[in-house]
Amino acid sequence: MKFVSWNVNGIRACLSKGLEDVIKTLDADIFCLQETKVQQGQTDFLPDGYTGYWNYAEKKGYSGTAVFAKKEPISVFYGMGIPEHDTEGRLITLEYECFYFVCCYTPNAQDGLKRIDYRMEWEDAFREYLGRLDETKPVIFCGDLNVAHNEIDLKNPKTNRGNAGFSDEERGKFSALLASGFTDSFRYLYPDRQEAYSWWSYRFKARERNTGWRIDYFCVSDRIKEKISEAVIHSDIFGSDHCPVELDIDI
């Protein structure tokens, strides 16, 4: 199966920049979006051949996720079932016969780590949530996880140490998540590949210079990691400050 994830930084803007063509071209079994920035009724977009599932933030023009699936799931769940974490439209879970699929848009710790305490609470709750799912069947989760895990995952690690997305706290939580039974699919296949990024600032010609961060992921339960056949960062696809990332897995 092929899965694709993309932080579109506003679905309406991305639609005007070719989102529909990207979905057709990549032809994933499941294509999911983060940071849709819409409320219910603000877009009727649905790619041909897919069923759509949306989780909207209560705050207008903020956050939000969507999943488009060719095969309808057994069940769909929005959020974690924890009220303080379920108002920003950050999580959609699809259950299939052999696995759970989770689309996630992790909260940003913000400049000066203003939201780091909440981020730590989210991380603990998310890890526990995935662990509960994993007890039943394998999990594939993806999205903008708002963290560059290791120095290889961003262009300027020394000058960004301690900044949002590369703080010791956030990196530690991602390490703990992986240690709880999950595998980063890209690093599983390409442990030493450098300058492989999925997000670039709009400032200072960052994308042109490939001054980026790898903060978009596909992770899988350890027990299915051998089934991973490919992990792709589509850095040649534009339309957002992020690019799509892909997982191909025999499941």
Q: Which residues are catalytic?
A: 105, 144
Encode burial over 82-117: b for 16+ CB neighbours within 10 A, e otherwise: eeebeebbbbbbbbbeebbbbbbbbbbbeeeeeebe
Q: Give which of 130, 123, 131 is closest to 149, Cα–Cα.
A: 123
DSSP state of 162: T
Sequence-separated (6 or more) residues with CB below 8 Å from residue 50: 31, 68, 69, 70
Q: Tell me how far apart the 2 most distant CA atoms of the chain are, in Å.
A: 46
Assess contact for 231 and 198: CB atoms under 8 A. no
What gap in Å lies between CA 251 and CA 244, rounded to an integer?
21
Strand order in the sheet with 75-78: 75-78, 91-95, 100-105, 139-144, 216-221, 182-184
Terminal-to-terminal C-alpha distance of the chain: 6
What gap in Å lies between CA 210 and CA 247, rounded to an integer?
22
